[in-house]
Amino acid sequence: MVKNFWEGAGGDLSKKWAELLFGPAFLFWLVTILLVTRPIGWDKVWDWLTAGDGFQQAARLVAGLLLVSFSEYLVSRADFVVLRGLEGYWPSFLDTIAQWMIDFRKKRNDRLESEWQLLRGKKRRKETLTRPERRKLATLEMKLHYVPPAESQIMPTTLGNIIRTGEAMSEAKYGLDPMVCWARLWLVLPDAARTEISGVRSALNRLVSWWSWGLLSLVWVYWLPWLAVISGVWLWLAYRLMLPVARNYADLIEAAFDLFRWELYTHLHLPLPATSADEAQSGKDVTELLWRGPVGDSITYVHPGKS
C-alpha cells in the first residue's frame, strides 16, 4: 500500500513528503505518538494502522502526513521571532542578563583586539610568525570581523553579533541605514544577487526551525527525563550550524550594499557622492529622505533627460 502511494504521487509531491519523513517535525510526532500510546501497547496501535482496506490505510497515512506538514508550517511561521530571540533581542525583564552578556563580550573583544594588534604589529614589521601565531592571527581576524563597528551595537549572543555586523556595516561605511534602505535596495538588486541571498536566508530559517523543534521536544522530558540530554544536544548543534550560515548571510548583506548601492541612488534619481569622503553624509541624507521624506534642501534630484 505504501509503495503504491509513493508511485501514485507526483514527483515534486513525493519529494516534499520525503523531506517531511526525514525532517524534525516527523521525528517529533513519531516520538510523541510512541510515548502517548505506550500504555495502550504499540502492537495494538500498529494493528489499528494496518487494519482495513488499502483506501483506509492510505487515508490514515495521508492524515498523518498532513498533520506533520501543517505543524511544520506553523513552526516555520515563528522563524523570525525565534531568530530574533537567538540574536539577543529579548524582552525588557531580561535586560540585566543581556547587559551582563554584552559586558562580557566587550571585555572579550578588547582582549582579542589586543592579541590581534600584537600579532598584526609583528607581521607589519615583517617579523617571522610561527605557525601557531599565523593560525592564531587568522582566527582573530575572523572573530573580530564579525564584531559590530560600534560598541552600542554589540549583542548578547554570537549569532546576534554576526548578523548585526552584516546589517551595521552599510551605515558605518556609507551612511545608509539598512533598516530603512534594505527594502528599496532589494527591489533593484539583480536576480542573481536576490537568489543567492534568498537561498542563504532560507537555509538559516531552516536551521531555526530545527532549533524550534528541539525546544518543543523538551515536553518529552516529563515522561522520559533522559531525553533532556538529547534535546540539549539538538539545540546546541542546531545553533552551532547556524553560525557559518549566518556569516555567509551577513557577508551577502554587506556585499549587496558594497556593489549595488549606486543602483539605489540611480533609481531614486539622486546624484552620486562626489568623493568617498562625502559618501557617509550623502547616505545619511538618503536615509532621512526614505524615512521622513524631503527635509530642507539637502536632496537635489537628477531628472532623466535633463542636463
Whether 299 contacts 289, CB under 8 Å: yes
C-alpha distances in Å from residue 43, one per residue of 47, 67, 304: 6, 22, 76
pLDDT for the residue 68? 77
CA 247 to chain centre: 9
Q: Where are the domains of the chain?
A: 2-77, 82-292
pLDDT for the residue 201? 95
**Joined grid coordinates for residue 64:** 498523518
Per-residue pLDDT of the chain (307 residues; tens, 9 = 90+): 444 444 444 444 455 555 666 678 777 777 777 776 666 665 666 665 666 666 666 776 677 777 777 888 888 889 999 999 999 999 999 999 999 999 999 999 999 999 999 888 888 888 788 888 889 989 999 999 999 999 999 999 999 999 999 999 999 999 999 999 999 999 999 999 999 999 999 999 999 999 998 898 888 888 778 888 988 999 999 999 999 999 999 999 999 999 999 999 999 999 888 888 889 999 999 999 999 887 666 677 777 665 5
pLDDT for the residue 209? 92
Whether this prediction's pTM lies above 0.85 is answered by no
Q: How far apart are CA 258 and CA 120, in angstroms?
A: 26
pLDDT for the residue 296? 65
Q: Which has the closest alpha carbon to 30: 76, 65, 58?
A: 65
pLDDT for the residue 182? 95
pLDDT for the residue 113? 92
